[in-house]
Each structure stands twice: as structure tokens, then as C-alpha cells.
Chain A
């Protein structure tokens, strides 16, 4: 690999450029008309314009990205996260153009991106999946029988699904009899397809995910992350290791992820997501993400492994030199997402000019960002400005360090989610690790108004 095209923007583009340059790989950054001043363009060796501000006309314009790669003489493409990162056709197109795609094969992306196929692959690899119907249910009697076998509470979902329509939470069989026809009618009206499926509902679920690396032959894990603090299914605070997970479950979860990765001959960095049931101690496969994730730094901080560097080496065709025995987690790491949003005003996006910037320092503190003083944040893309990551010997010290680092972080001119994270550091439930995936939304109902700088 000599020349890498970065088919992304923002903080992850900066992160990829840094790893590539350390490996002596030349970097070519694509950019839209709205992004000519972004940090990634400034630090890349070269940059190529790929079109208008709207992502559909630039970062999601496959012809434009491939033409840029050809024009730049790139021999590899890193897709980052979002945009084309999990687009199998893009991965195939890159490979067919004679370049290396930094990620798994198109067919692996396709298979794991299909909910039913992914669930089947997990079940085949012996990984527990969420109990429920194995596919769509068209016969009401069969639906009733499977509902009883699954147990309550459960969710009725539309097979054609999306946007929360056709979903019902059901607590007992009487409710099931009343709500199933409603869900069927709603799905029929919304999607022209009344097909339903049934899934067990985990009341106190934690989102736990396992970072894996594979080279197509071998796979290893870099332990787990917990990302239960979410708002509208967006993670806001992530940590490694998962604070409350019993060690026996931890080992089983990580082994399950490796089994799945090996079963699909996984190549590159990936994440296997699970729902962990705090009440029963059971865990269930949710999905596999075939890309690098936003929260990868917490795994890097506890293992000392540079995941982007490993991705580049694997894509270059070098067999993985790391073995499971080389992965020795140490201490505790936390990442918080610093978004250009006003948490006191329902997280209203706040694009603007960064008037001044002061990034925290000291031991165990890392800032993966995309901003600098004078930078005008464009309104066309997501609101992530950067990620503040800390590491310390244990979780308590890590939270203290995060609190201190957040105090040092100053981003002038824009509203950010900094006040949210400062308050979370002080919260007794967060301190105790006492939360689940719906905890933060309840907490925000009570506390949002005081989240001002």
C-alpha cells in the first residue's frame, strides 16, 4: 500500500490520516465544496474535490469518489464509518477497480448487513440470538403460540418495518390478542405488508459490544465496550471494560464474538453488538458492524493497540501478527462525544464558527477532533466535533479524570454537549455504573434544562 484515499470527512478522516502517515503511506483526502477548510484536508498529503456540499452529491457519490481515487493514483481506499463504510457495492467497486478496500469483502458486508442472514450466521456459530419468531408470522394462531413460547414482555414488530411504525410492547397474552391485530393493520397501512415478527423485550438491557480483528484466517477480540448511555439510539458516552459485567459472562461474550468472526472468515476490524439482560444475566446477538466504530479509541486505550494501523496492515495483505495472548487489557477508558448541539434545547444542532479552542492535556487524556480556532462548522454533516477520551487505572479515577479534562476543554463560539458530560460525571448512578439503554432519556427529562455552560 503506497497511496491511501480517505473516503470520509471529519474526525475519523483525521484519525485515519494520522495512522497512515505513521506507516509511511501517502494520504489523499476527498472533500466537498463545504469542507475545503477542514482539518483532514490541511494535514493530508494531497486533497481532491468531489463535488457540492450535500453528502448525496459528494461523499455518497460513488462515481465521484472512485474517479478521485483513480485520478490520485490511489491503491487503497479507507471508508471510515458512515457514508460507504458498510456499502457492499462500494467495497466491490473499489476491489474491481484494482484497489484495496480497507475493510471486509463485499460479500461479508452484504451478509452481515442483512438482518435475517446475520442472525442466521450468529445462530450457526453458536451465538445466542434474541428469542422470538425466526422470521415473519402471517398466521395469527402460530403468532399466538410463539408469543407464549417467547415469554413476556415482548415486542411485536412489522416485518417490512422502519421508523417505529407497527411496533407494540406487549406485557401478557390478553394484551397480545388485543394489540397484534392493531400492529398488523398499522403495518399493512404503512408498508402494504401486514407481516409481523416477535422479539423478546429486555426491560433492563445494557448495550455491550466486542471489538474484533481478523485477517480472513484468524480472529481475535480486543475485549468489550459498554455503550448503554444513549439518546435516540445515538451513543453519547462509551467505556471499556463494561463496568458491571460478571467476569464469566465477559469471557463467554468475547468468545462468541470471535466464533462469529471466524465463522464468516472476517477480515479487518469489526464489532459484534449484544444486548445484555441485567435481570437474567443472558446476552443476545444484535448485529455485527463491519466497520471501524466511533468509539474504537476506548478499546485502544485499554489494550495499547492502534486499530486503524491494524486495519491498514490487514488490508495490505499481511497476516495478523497479534495473537489473543498479546491482548492484555489494563485500566479503564471512557469516551464522550462532543457534539455541536445544545443539550438544554433538545439537542438543537448548533453549527457556527469555533472562536477559540483549548484542548485538555495531562496524563491519560486524548482528544480525537476535527476543529481548530477560526473553523466554520458546516451544517451539512453530523454534529460530532470530536471525542474526549481518558484512561486511568480504574473506573473511579477515569471519571475523575474525565471531569477534570472537561473542565479544561473550552470550545468558544458554539454550544456543545460538554455540559451534559460534566453533569454525568457527577451523577451517582453513572458513578455506580447503574444504568441501562433507556436510563439517559429518563434522566434528560428531569435534568436537561440545567445543562448549560
Chain B
């Protein structure tokens, strides 16, 4: 069964806290509810994307630095 983490805001999606730091999470990582998986930049302010469920990341559906709409799936999880 597959679950998805959705964007709560529209903007630009980032997988790292800053360009020279490591990615928050990689494919294959097991996460728990509340884990930060990325950032969304909206109107020049940055907001954390937190997992609203636990699981293992099987795919990122939005590339780093790509635009995202509110409600669009960002990552796919398996139980």
C-alpha cells in the first residue's frame, strides 16, 4: 500500500536545508510522523515540510528546486 506526503503550501520545493548541506531524507529512509523531509519556499519565506505519517520513502515526486502546488504529492511512502 502506498501513502503520499502532500505539499501544504505552493512554492519551490527544496530537499536540503541549504545548498551545501546534506539532503533531509533519501529514498529508502524510514521516517516517523513529524520528520522534516524538505522545505517549501513561498514568497521568499521558508517552511518545513513535515511527514504526517510514518513509513519508508520509496520516491520523491517533486525534484529539488522544482515548483510545487498546494496539495500536490511530494513523496511516496511504503509501510
Chain A interfacial positions (CB closer than 8 Å to B): 34, 52-54, 340-341, 349, 351, 379-383
Shortest beta-carbon distance from B9 to chain A in Å: 7
Say yes or no: A54 contacts B65, CB within 8 Å: yes
Given A54-B12, A351-B10, are A383 and B43 neighbors across the interface (CB < 8 Å)? Answer: yes
Judged by a CB distance under 8 angstroms, whether B42 is at the interface is: yes
Say yes or no: B42 contacts A382, CB within 8 Å: no
B12 surroundings in chain A (CB, below 8 A): 53-54, 379-380
Given A340-B43, A349-B42, A349-B45, are A379 and B65 neighbors across the interface (CB < 8 Å)? Answer: no
B45 surroundings in chain A (CB, below 8 A): 349
A34 surroundings in chain B (CB, below 8 A): 67
Shortest beta-carbon distance from A291 to chain B in Å: 18
A341 surroundings in chain B (CB, below 8 A): 43
CA distance A341 to B45 in the complex (A): 11
Pick 13 A–B contacts, CB within 8 A, sort by A. A341-B43, A351-B11, A351-B42, A351-B43, A379-B10, A379-B11, A379-B12, A380-B11, A380-B43, A381-B43, A382-B43, A382-B44, A383-B44
CA distance A340 to B42 in the complex (A): 11
A53, A54, A341, A349: most-surrounded residue (chain B CB, <10 A): A349
Shortest beta-carbon distance from B19 to chain A in Å: 11
Shortest beta-carbon distance from A59 to chain B in Å: 13
Within 8 A of A (CB), among B3-60: 9-12, 42-45
Range, interface on chain B: 10 to 19
B42 surroundings in chain A (CB, below 8 A): 349, 351, 379
A52 surroundings in chain B (CB, below 8 A): 67
Inter-chain CB contacts under 8 Å: number: 34
Say yes or no: A349 contacts B43, CB within 8 Å: yes
Partner of B67, one of A340, A349, A380, A382: A380
B65 surroundings in chain A (CB, below 8 A): 54
In the complex, residue of chain A having the shortest beta-carbon distance to the beta carbon of B67: A53
In the complex, residue of chain B having the shortest beta-carbon distance to the beta carbon of A232: B45
Given A54-B12, A351-B10, are A381 and B67 neighbors across the interface (CB < 8 Å)? Answer: no
In the complex, residue of chain B having the shortest beta-carbon distance to the beta carbon of A378: B10
A34, A52, A380: most-surrounded residue (chain B CB, <10 A): A380
A382 surroundings in chain B (CB, below 8 A): 43-44
Shortest beta-carbon distance from B72 to chain A in Å: 12
CA distance A379 to B8 in the complex (A): 13
CA distance A386 to B43 in the complex (A): 15
In the complex, residue of chain B having the shortest beta-carbon distance to the beta carbon of A382: B44
CA distance A351 to B70 in the complex (A): 10
5 A-B pairs with the lowest CB-CB distances in the bound complex, closest first: A349-B43, A383-B43, A379-B10, A379-B11, A379-B42
In the complex, residue of chain B having the shortest beta-carbon distance to the beta carbon of A52: B67
A380 surroundings in chain B (CB, below 8 A): 11-12, 43, 67
Shortest beta-carbon distance from A376 to chain B in Å: 10
B9 surroundings in chain A (CB, below 8 A): 349, 379
CA distance A53 to B43 in the complex (A): 12
Shortest beta-carbon distance from B79 to chain A in Å: 32
A351 surroundings in chain B (CB, below 8 A): 10-11, 42-43
CA distance A53 to B13 in the complex (A): 12
Shortest beta-carbon distance from B51 to chain A in Å: 21
6 new A-B pairs (CB below 8 Å) besides A341-B43, A379-B11? A34-B67, A349-B9, A349-B45, A351-B42, A379-B9, A379-B42
Shortest beta-carbon distance from B12 to chain A in Å: 6
CA distance A34 to B68 in the complex (A): 12
B43 surroundings in chain A (CB, below 8 A): 340-341, 349, 351, 379-383
CA distance A383 to B45 in the complex (A): 10
Shortest beta-carbon distance from B45 to chain A in Å: 6
CA distance A381 to B43 in the complex (A): 5
A53 surroundings in chain B (CB, below 8 A): 12, 67
Shortest beta-carbon distance from A434 to chain B in Å: 30
CA distance A380 to B10 in the complex (A): 9
Shortest beta-carbon distance from A409 to chain B in Å: 20
Shortest beta-carbon distance from B61 to chain A in Å: 18
In the complex, residue of chain B having the shortest beta-carbon distance to the beta carbon of A347: B45
Shortest beta-carbon distance from A370 to chain B in Å: 13
CA distance A341 to B42 in the complex (A): 11
Shortest beta-carbon distance from B15 to chain A in Å: 15
In the complex, residue of chain B having the shortest beta-carbon distance to the beta carbon of A351: B10
In the complex, residue of chain B having the shortest beta-carbon distance to the beta carbon of A341: B43
Shortest beta-carbon distance from A320 to chain B in Å: 35
A53, A351, A379: most-surrounded residue (chain B CB, <10 A): A379
CA distance A68 to B40 in the complex (A): 30
Say yes or no: A381 contacts B10, CB within 8 Å: no
Shortest beta-carbon distance from B50 to chain A in Å: 15
